[in-house]
Amino acid sequence: MEKKKLKILFVASEADPFIKTGGLADVAGSLPQALKEEGHDVRLVIPEYRQIPEKYKERMESVCHFRTNLAWRDRYLGVNKLEEDGVTVYFIDNKYYFDRDSIYENEDKHEQFAFFSQAVLDMLPIIGFQPDVIHANDWQTGPLPVLFADRYRQQSFYKDMKTVFTIHNIRYQGQFAGEAAGDVLGLAPHHWASGNIRHNGLLNYMKSGIMYADKVTTVSESYAQEIQTSYFGEGLDYALRMRGNDLSGIVNGISYSKFNPETNKNLAVRYSKGEIDKKIANKVHIQQKLGLEVDGDKPLIGFISRLVEQKGIDLVKAVFDEIMASGAQFLILGTGFREYEEFLKAKQEEYPDNLSVNIMYDSQLADQIYAGSDMFLMPSRYEPCGLSQLISFRYGTIPIVRETGGLNDTVIAYNEETGEGTGFSFSNYNAHDMLHSIERAVSFYDKKGIWNRLITRVMELDYSWHNSAKKYADLYAEVSGYKIEEADEKKSPVEIKTFKPDIDEIDYTEESPEEKAVQESETITIKGTAAEKSVQESEMINLNLASAKKLAELPGIGSAYAERIVNYRKENGLFKKSEEITKIRGIGQKKYESIADMIIV
C-alpha cells in the first residue's frame, strides 16, 4: 500500500473548549489534536451555536458562504474557521438552525442535524479540502454516511473518500417520523425500503450511520461486543451484528496536560509519582474543606457522576449503610434525578463526619476529589468507555468498578496472590457484589506496602490521547487502503493498558526457557477485511508457555487480556486447543479469529 500521511475531517455536534454537554466534546476536542501531533492533516467541524463564547467568535474568520438545498428548502450556509492548538476548526453558520436557546432540545432537531451533516459535505469542494476519511460521531451526524452514499460518492471530487462512524452511547439514537427521510434528508425511497435507515417504523439517525459508514467504531472493545447483544444494544444489536466485521472498539484517552497532578493549580498540594505524602495532604485538605472528620489514615472513596440509574446509583442506595460501615469516608459530587438527590442529602444528616454530598458540578472541586480520594467508585450498569477511572489513574486513585464496557477494558482486578492489578472490580450488577469489592479495597488500604505499590503502578499507566490516536490512524489507513508512514526507528506495538508487576516472588515479564525454545521463525498470513497481506513474524506465540508480556503483543490483546489468559491457564491448566481461548471473558470468536494464525498450544 502507498505510504502517506492522512487527511481527516472530524465531524461532531460539540467540541471542547467551544461547546460541551458531555464526553463527546472531550473526544472531539482532544483526538484531532493528538492526530495532528502524529503528523496527519486533521480538521474539525462543528455547528456555530449561539452558546459558543464570544472570545472564540472574535477569532473566527470567514471562509465562504453560499446557498444550498435541504430537500426542497433553500438555506444559507456559511463557513467560518479558527485555529485551536494547531488544529483548523470549521464552524457551520446558519442562524436559523444554530442561534437557539437549546443545543439539542428543539422540536426540529432532525432538520437541524440533517442540515449540519449535509453542510459538511457541501462545503468540502468550496473550501478545497479533500479528506481521505470523514469521521462522524453519534446520532447527530448519523445522516452523513447515508447522504454521502446517496448522492456524493458518485461525484469525482468525493469518490475516494471513506466514512467512519463512532458510537459514543447507543442509547441516544435520534429517532424521528419516517416522512423526514424524504422531506428533510431528500433520500431516494429505496433507503427506507431496505430498512437501513429505519427501526420500529421510525427514521433512525444512529442506524443510518451504522449501516452506511465504511467502518463503525465505539469507545471500547468490550462495549463493541456488548452492543451486539440484546441487553446492551438498545434495539440495534441486530444491525451491529450485521456490521460485525466492520465494527471495532478503541478506548478513549484523556488529556495528560489537563489532568496532571504535578501542574494542576486546582490542587492544594501538587505531587508526582512516589510523593504519596503529598497525595495524603490533598486528602486532608478535602476533608477540611467539606467538613469531614480529618484523618489522613482513614480511606476516602470518591464518586463524581450524574445521579442517574445508568451510573449504578440503585446499587449504592441498596447497601448505603453497609458502605458507611466499611470504615471509609464517602464523598459524592453530581446532579441528577431528584429521587437520588433527596436520598443522598438525607443520608448526609445521618453521617455528618464521614459523608459529604455535593449536589452540583464544580470542576475545581472535582479535581480536588480525584486527587484527595484513595478510591473511586464506578458501579455502572453500562459504561461505553468511562473517563473517571482514567483520571483516577492519573491522580493515583484506585478505581472500584463494575466489569462493563471501557471499565472492563481498562481496570485489571487486583490479585493478592500475584500482586498484579490496577483496581478492584465486580462482574454482576449486584449491590452486594459491589459492597464486597468496596470492603476488599478498604481491607488492602491498611496494607501500606501493597497500597503504595498500587498507587505507583496506576500513575505509570498511559491513557493519553496519543495511544488512542495511533489506533484511529491505523483504522483510517486500513479503510483508505494506505500505509501510514513510519519513523526510521523500529516502533514497539502500541498498547494502551500496560504496567509492570513489581513483586519479587513472581515475574511474569520474563520469558521462560520453554518459551525461548519455541521462538523459531515462520511465515504466517493474516486475512484482513480490506486485503490479504503476508506478514513475516519471528515466532508463533504458545498459549501454554508465553508470559503475559509476550501475550500482550498479540493484536487486540494487550495487557488486560494477557493477564486473563495467564490467570485462566493457572486456574484451568494448559490449553488443549487454541480455540479454548474464547472461554476467557472478553475474548470472543472475532478476536480469536484475528489472532488464530499467530498462536499455538
pLDDT single digits (tens) 392-413: 999 999 999 999 999 999 999 9
The kind and range of the H/E element at 90 are strand 87-93
Range name among 173-182, 421-430, 479-488 with the lowest pLDDT average: 479-488
According to the model, what pLDDT value does residue 598 have? Answer: 84
Q: Where are the domains of the chain?
A: 2-249, 276-460, 507-601
202 bridge partner residues: 199
Closest to 171 (Cα-Cα) out of 218, 212, 206, 220:
206
Residue for grid cell 445521579: 307
In the chain, the amino acid numbered 201 is G
Check for a shared fold between 276-460 and 507-601: no
Indicate whether 531 pLDDT > 50.
no
What would the grid cell of residue 129 be? 479540502
Cα separation, 256 vs 273, in Å, equals: 14
Range name among 78-82, 127-131, 208-212, 274-278 with the lowest pLDDT average: 274-278
Interacting residues of 412 by C-beta distance below 8 A, sequence separation 6+: 420, 421, 422, 423, 497, 499, 559, 560, 563
CATH code: domain 276-460 is: 3.40.50.2000
Confidence of residue 513 (pLDDT cuts 50, 70, 90): very low
pLDDT in tens, 583-599: 887 687 777 877 888 88
According to the model, what pLDDT value does residue 127 have? Answer: 97
Whole-angstrom CA distances from 123 to 35, 47, 80, 92, 126 are 22, 13, 11, 9, 5
Cα separation, 167 vs 227, in Å, equals: 10
Residue predicted with more confidence, 98 or 552: 98
Q: What does the buried/exposed string (b/e) look like for 74-101 if buried means 16 or more CB atoms within 10 Å of the residue's CB?
A: ebebbbbbbebeebbbbbbbbeebbebe
**Residue 210 DSSP one-character state:** H
Report the CATH fold assignment for 2-249.
Answer: Rossmann fold (3.40.50)
Indicate whether 479 pLDDT > 70.
yes
Q: Are 329 and 300 in contact (CB under 8 A)?
A: yes
pLDDT in tens, 29-72: 999 999 999 999 999 999 999 999 999 999 999 999 999 999 99
Average confidence score pLDDT of the chain: 88
CATH architecture for segment(s) 507-601: Orthogonal Bundle (1.10)
